[in-house]
Chains A and B, each alone.
Chain A
Amino acid sequence: MIIVDDLCKEFERTVMSKEDEAQTKRLAKSHKKGTLKQKKESFYAVNHVSFQVPQGEILGILGPNGAGKTTLLRMLGALMQPTCGSVAIEDENGNRITDPVQYKKSIGYLSGNTKLYHRMSTREMLYMLAEIYEIDKQTADERIENIAKVLDMHSFMDNRIEKLSTGQTQRASIARCLIHEPDIYIFDEPTLGLDILSADAIVNFMKSQKEAGKTVLYSTHYLEEAQFLCDRVLMIYQGKIVKEGSPEAIMEECGVGNLRDAFHHVMEEVDTL
């Protein structure tokens, strides 16, 4: 189980102050050149978020661009340190794991930004990862053989990753997350930009992992996909959770027939507030 407690992340962004706006107008009128002072202000990309995800659940994280999905997932993957709050994994015995190294051993993290090492072959990469995850040689052999079979990668296991096609690279990326058999998968827009076959392969993979009792957290813009795949969804807007529940419950609450309409409904509701 993954436990998220009061999580915040502070960022800086450049904004224009009111004086500067006035200054811009003056300058535009007089056609003179001048310097503008840009102000930096801090804001919360993730703003006091708390939730829990039990084992065997697929949680979808939905929200418009810039809502804080990626930042949230990065903190859940321990890639980023939260400004405040905490993320912890609770194992079967009820022990909470917060040490980043131990924590990362239980997480399989995949996003558009986690590219693979181009100059290595998939097999070399997997053996290297096995060493880093401290998996012994024999287990590593078995797992790699098994992963290659499941993901049908035998034909390109020894080719350099830079030579692989998009679909093959995506499979190799999934292989990267599988090598240490984590309990929790965190996927940031995993099906983005993939063709139907590759996207379906990933969706099926997530389903199979859920059936195997693993937890999956994933963000997506494909609401149809989320509707039939997720046990529960979180809708995020400006760093805050604005809706939480099963897709069915949310649709019912909004009085609409699909998740896409529900999403629009929720966003409009938030905007009018």
Chain B
Amino acid sequence: MNLKRMTALFKRELTDILRDKKTLIMMLVVPIIIYPLLIVGMTLLMSSIMSSQAEKTYLIAFENDTDLEKQIGDIIEDNEEKIGYKLEIVKENDCQGSLENGTIDAFVRVEENDKVLLCYLSAKDRSSTAVSALNDAFELYREELTKEKIEDAGLDAEVMLNPIRYEQEDYSTTEESIGNLIGSMMPFLIVTVILLGAIYPAIDVTAGEKERGTLETLLTLPITNFEMIMSKFLAVSCIACVSAVLNVFSMGGAMAFLVSSSLSSAANMNIEIHYETFIPGILFTIVVMMFFALLVTAVCMCTCVFAKNFKEANNYVTPVMLIFMFGSYAAMIPDLELTAQTAAIPIVNVALLVEGLFQFHYNYGLFAIVLFSNVAYSLLAIMILGKIYNSEAVLFSEGLSSVKLFTRRSDMKEKQMPGFGDVVLLLCIVLLLIFYVGTFAQLKFGFFGVAVQQLIILLCPLVYAWYMKADKTQLFSIQIIKPLQLAGSVMIGIATFVGALIIGALLMPVFPESAEGLTQLDDMVVNQPIYLLILVVAIMPAIGEELLFRGFVMGTLKKRCRPIVTIVVTTLIFAAYHMSLIKMFTIGIVGLGLTLVTYKTGSIAASMCVHFLNNLLSVLITKYPTQIQRVLPILFKDRLSVSDMLLLAAVVLICAAVGWMLIGGKKKEKQKR
């Protein structure tokens, strides 16, 4: 990467975007002028309408000449403050007719059984207001009558009417209540403004560039693909960030104006709001927004690049926009909070984090996960973008297409191998299914939900491979394994398991839960019968996860990458997949072992077997802790001493060496033949 060239390209993209009127309007005019105007203007309009309504006089008539007219008249006169509207009683002969033609706003009819009817037209706002004021007057009259009746009976009216006195008392500070309100609305606003800021520039630099015909010009320049994408990506992110920050400030200002004006006018109370308490929240929000803008930009660009022109890009990007907005509703779901799991879900994590910030929850650990996951997802999206920009099919609208799933099934070649795009797509599908279907199943069916989740992991790669007519034997490394190689694999499995124990113990001071990751299972599963546990916790993951990671992912990478890249990337994906920052290292080590054995032996049976044994051990430990403790006491120690560690390290070395020899030795023999 050449920094000077990239700066020049970045400058060019930025100039180009900023000279586009559409973007400028979206970025500057909308936030700085339209939003405040709308919010403040609407409020002023509403309050002026309300006050003019209060000043109006509403005309009321009584159909029958009764005593009631005088009584109510007195009440209205005495309680104008309480009722809040001016009511005037007028004489009318044909009350219903007058109501219908609008000379009066409501009238009172007394029926034969002394039932009083307040007659009005619900279709008319004036009439509705009048009747509700009239209703208040009658309510006051009723109270007066009740009081009189009670006192006539010789009782204390105050005690009879209010036998118990109670009030609500709110211990939340004003800031907390306001924060709660803003926190539930803010995520949606933020997602929307970032989208608005990002979409136009994203379309402009991708589809717009194609439409204007400058893409081919750009390709003639001596720049690498990466420089081209990064300069575009950074320029759009910059614009999205700036416009989002502008938006938040202008909206925040307008909202602050609203809150203070409504408080001062409505309540007549001396509430002082300490706006400065929101400053940390706002600052963090801006930081989160910047990271989120990266993701939004990358996703928008990935979508728009497939379009040939502005109009088409607009169509493509609309569903993306809806998905983002839908995700931001997460903040409005009660009880859904930011946890280690939700912190890794794109969009939702940002929504929950921002909501939390305004409710003064500062959890820096989760904060880090949210930022990290946003960067990770953006990188993923940029990688995909790079892939798309490499595809001449997309750039020149001709050539060979790159994601296999996007071609018709009948056109697919038999026995093909998937590409990187397929791996990313499959992982996304599995993640989404697990998150939505799996979580739902777990909530609904408890333990059997776990089985559903495992089934998803098992079926997805198989179905994907079947659909794209992949060469399954090669992709999933289906091959019979020699007993010695299997023994070697198990040895390596033991080595990595023990290695993970050591790492877990070493990380204990940093992440107290890290050691638990390996051996302890959820409380939910403990009470299940042993055969079910073995099936769901040991056998199914051993088959499903291996098919997905050591099968599909590694099989694809193996074809296209160097061995070291294949092994590292597969392991990283496997570790990241368990969605826990704490367990990542220990699972990563075990994953490395699994990846290595399949890579070395060329058979998925190796890693399946090791994975099964590893999970079986967890099941046995959970189910029969006392028996296992007798055999392997070291697994139950809270702290490992230095001598324990050295012993374990020796076990790792010996097992790894023996295992490596067993696997490798056979291979050499094969080569000799």
List the interface of chain A (C-beta within 8 A of B): 10-12, 37, 39-40, 42, 74, 77, 79-81, 100-105, 107, 109, 111, 113-120, 124, 128-129, 131-134, 176
Contacts and interface: CB of A to CB of B under 8 A. Distances in A.
B400 A12 contact: yes
B411 interface: yes
Given A12-B400, A80-B392, A128 B12 contact: yes
Contacts of A128: 8, 11-12
Contact of B4 (A39, A109, A119, A134): A134
Interface of B: 2, 4-5, 7-9, 11-12, 15-16, 19-20, 212-214, 216-217, 219-224, 392-393, 396, 398-401, 407-408, 410-411
Contacts of B2: 134
A117 B12 contact: yes
Given A40-B407, A132-B222, A11 B217 contact: no
Contacts of B214: 114-118
B15 A120 contact: yes
A10 B217 contact: no
B220 A77 contact: yes
Contact of B9 (A10, A79, A132): A132
B5 A131 contact: yes
A161 to B, nearest CB: 10
Contacts of A81: 392
Given A10-B400, A104-B222, A116-B217, 12 more contacts: A11-B398, A11-B400, A12-B399, A79-B216, A103-B222, A104-B220, A111-B216, A115-B214, A120-B19, A128-B11, A132-B8, A134-B4
Nearest to A81: B392
A10 B221 CA distance: 24
A119 B213 CA distance: 13
A114 B407 contact: no
A240 B400 CA distance: 20
27 contacts: A12-B393, A12-B398, A12-B399, A40-B407, A40-B411, A101-B222, A101-B223, A104-B220, A105-B222, A114-B213, A114-B217, A115-B213, A115-B216, A116-B214, A117-B12, A117-B16, A117-B217, A118-B214, A119-B16, A119-B20, A128-B8, A128-B11, A128-B12, A131-B4, A132-B8, A134-B5, A176-B217
A107 B220 contact: yes
A120 B17 CA distance: 11
Contacts of B398: 11-12
Contacts of A129: 221
A77 B396 CA distance: 14
B16 A114 contact: no
Nearest to A108: B220
Candidate in A12, A120, A176 with the most chain B CB atoms within 10 angstroms: A12
A109 B220 CA distance: 6
Contacts of A107: 220
Given A117-B12, A117-B214, A131-B5, A37 B222 contact: no
Nearest to A79: B219
Nearest to B401: A12
A97 to B, nearest CB: 11
Candidate in B220, B224, B411 with the most chain A CB atoms within 10 angstroms: B220
B474 to A, nearest CB: 22
A173 B197 CA distance: 32
A12 to B, nearest CB: 6
A120 B400 contact: no
Contacts of B410: 37, 39
Nearest to B7: A131
B392 A119 contact: no
Nearest to A176: B217
A116 B4 CA distance: 22
Contact of B399 (A11, A116, A120, A176): A11
A87 to B, nearest CB: 14
A118 B20 CA distance: 10
Candidate in A103, A109, A116, A119 with the most chain B CB atoms within 10 angstroms: A119
Q: Across chains A and B, which 4 residue pairs bring their CB atoms closest together, nearest first?
A: A115-B213, A131-B8, A119-B19, A104-B222
A131 B223 CA distance: 12
B9 to A, nearest CB: 7
A132 B220 contact: no
Contacts of A114: 213-214, 216-217, 220
Candidate in B7, B19, B217 with the most chain A CB atoms within 10 angstroms: B217
A80 B400 contact: no
Contacts of B407: 40
